[in-house]
C-alpha cells in the first residue's frame, strides 16, 4: 500500500523509520510482545474499574498495532462505532486476522494520529504502548481532548523514564522520544482532563544472550530509533558490557517501565 493513497499522511522525518520498524516486526509482534499484551489487559481493566460504562457510543483507538488493546476493549465494552488507527497501513491486515472479534462498525484509518482527521464527540479514546512515539504530547492530548464529549473517557499507556534503562546506560539509541513518569502526566494533559487513576509498575524480562535480547527488540519493533547494524565484534563488546553492568546469574535483564492512566473530560 502506498502512502500516496492517504493524503493526510505527512510523517515526521523519524516516523518513516518508526513505521518501517513496526511494519517489519508486525508478524512477530503479536506473539513476542508479552509485556504489551499484559499492559493492554491492565489498561482496559483500569478503564472498567474507573466506571466506564459497558455501552460506549463512539470510540477511537490509535496505535492499534496487531490489536492487543482492541481485543481487551471489545471483551469489556460494546461500541457503537470504532475507529482503529495505526501509523503502519499493514496493521489493517493484522487486525483483520483478529479471529472475527473486530465488529462490523469498526473501520481502520492509517497514518500518524497527530494529523489524522477525527470526528467530534467521541465517548472514548484509548491507546496502549504508543504515546512514547509522539514527540509533542501536550499538542496531541489537547487535540484528542477537544474531540471528546464532556464526560468522555481517555485511557492511555506509555512508558516512564526507566524504560530500557540498561540500554540507555549502555549508550543505545533505541529510545523513543517521549518517556514520561506518572508524576509528569498531569502537566501534559489539558486542564479539561481529570486523571482518575494512574500507575507505573516496572516489569523486567530476562534473556540468555545479547542476541536474544536484540531479537526481542527487533521482533517487537520497539527499537525504531536504533540505527546501527551489528558486527560480530560490536555484539561481543555490547554483551560483555551488558553482563558486567547488569548481568544477573548469567542472565541479561531488560526493564520495561509502563505507565497507565484513565482520565475523564470534565467540561
Ligand atoms: C508498541 S506498538 C503497540 C501496539 C498495540 N497498541 C499494543 O498494545 O500491542 C506501537 C504502535 O504504535 C504505532 N505508532 C507509532 N507512532 C504512531 C503515530 N504517530 N500514530 C499512530 N500510530 C503510531 C506503531 O506503528 C505501532 O503499531
pLDDT tens-digit readout, 73-96: 999 999 999 999 999 988 877 676
Per-residue pLDDT tens for 195-206? 999 999 999 999
Is the CB–ligand 1 distance for residue 69 below 6 Å? Answer: yes
Is 60 in a helix, a strand, or coil?
strand
Buried b (16+ CB within 10 A) or exposed e, 129-149: bbbbbbeebeebbbbbbebbe
Report the C-alpha gap between 59 and 151 in whole angstroms.
13
Judged by phi (left if over 0) then psi (alpha if -120 to 50, else beta), residue 218 lies in alpha
When pLDDT is cut at 50, 70 and 90, the band that residue 239 belongs to is: very high
User: Is the minimum distance from the CB of 86 to ligand 1 under 6 angstroms?
Assistant: yes
Check if the beta carbon of residue 180 is closer than 8 Å to that of residue 261. no
Q: Is the CB of 35 under 6 A from ligand 1?
A: no
Nearest CA to ligand 1 atom 16: 133
Q: What residues does each domain of the chain span?
A: 3-204+254-265
pLDDT at 58 over 50: yes
CB–CB of 122/58 below 8 Å?
A: yes
Query: Who's near 146: CB < 8 A, 6+ residues apart?
Result: none
pLDDT of the residue at 12 = 55
Closest-CA residue, ligand 1 atom 7, reads 68
Spatial separation of the C-alpha atoms in residues 109 and 88, rounded to whole Å: 10
Question: From the CB of 36, is ligand 1 less than 6 Å away?
Answer: yes
Backbone angles phi and psi of 223, in degrees to 5: -105, 45
Beta carbons of 28 and 219 less than 8 angstroms apart: yes
**Of the CATH numbers 3.40.50.150, 3.90.1150.10, 3.30.930.10, 1.10.260.40, which one belongs to the domain with range 3-204+254-265?**
3.40.50.150
pLDDT in tens, 14-57: 788 888 777 776 777 777 889 999 999 999 999 999 999 999 99
Amino acid at each position: 500500500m502506498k502512502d500516496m493513497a492517504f493524503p493526510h499522511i505527512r510523517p515526521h522525518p523519524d516516523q518513516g523509520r518508526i513505521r518501517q520498524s513496526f511494519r517489519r516486526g508486525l508478524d512477530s509482534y503479536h506473539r513476542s510482545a508479552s509485556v504489551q499484551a499484559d499492559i493492554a489487559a491492565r489498561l482496559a481493566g483500569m478503564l472498567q474499574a474507573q466506571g466506564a460504562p459497558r455501552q460506549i457510543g463512539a470510540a477511537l483507538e490509535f496505535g492499534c498495532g496487531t490489536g492487543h488493546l482492541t481485543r481487551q476493549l471489545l471483551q469489556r465494552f460494546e461500541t457503537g462505532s470504532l475507529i482503529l488507527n495505526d501509523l503502519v497501513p499493514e496493521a489493517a491486515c493484522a487486525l483483520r486476522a483478529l479471529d472475527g472479534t473486530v465488529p462490523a462498525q469498526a473501520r481502520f484509518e492509517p497514518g500518524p494520529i497527530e494529523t489524522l482527521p477525527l470526528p467530534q464527540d467521541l465517548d472514548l479514546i484509548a491507546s496502549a504502548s504508543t504515546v512514547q512515539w509522539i514527540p509533542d504530547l501536550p499538542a496531541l492530548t489537547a487535540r484528542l481532548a477537544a474531540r471528546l464529549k464532556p464526560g468522555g473517557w481517555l485511557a492511555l499507556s506509555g512508558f516512564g523514564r526507566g524504560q530500557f534503562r540498561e540500554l540507555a546506560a549502555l549508550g543505545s539509541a533505541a529510545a523513543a522520544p517521549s518517556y514520561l513518569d506518572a508524576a509528569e502526566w498531569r502537566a501534559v494533559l489539558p486542564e479539561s482532563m481529570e486523571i482518575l487513576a494512574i500507575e507505573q509498575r516496572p516489569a523486567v524480562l530476562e534473556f540468555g544472550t545479547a542476541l536474544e535480547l536484540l531479537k526481542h527488540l527487533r521482533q517487537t519493533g520497539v527499537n525504531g530509533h536504533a540505527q546501527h547494524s551489528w558486527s560480530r565484534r560490536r555484539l561481543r563488546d555490547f554483551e560483555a558490557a551488558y553482563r558486567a553492568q547488569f548481568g544477573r546469574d548469567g542472565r541479561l535483564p531488560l526493564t520495561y517501565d509502563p505507565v497507565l492512566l484513565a482520565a475523564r473530560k470534565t467540561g
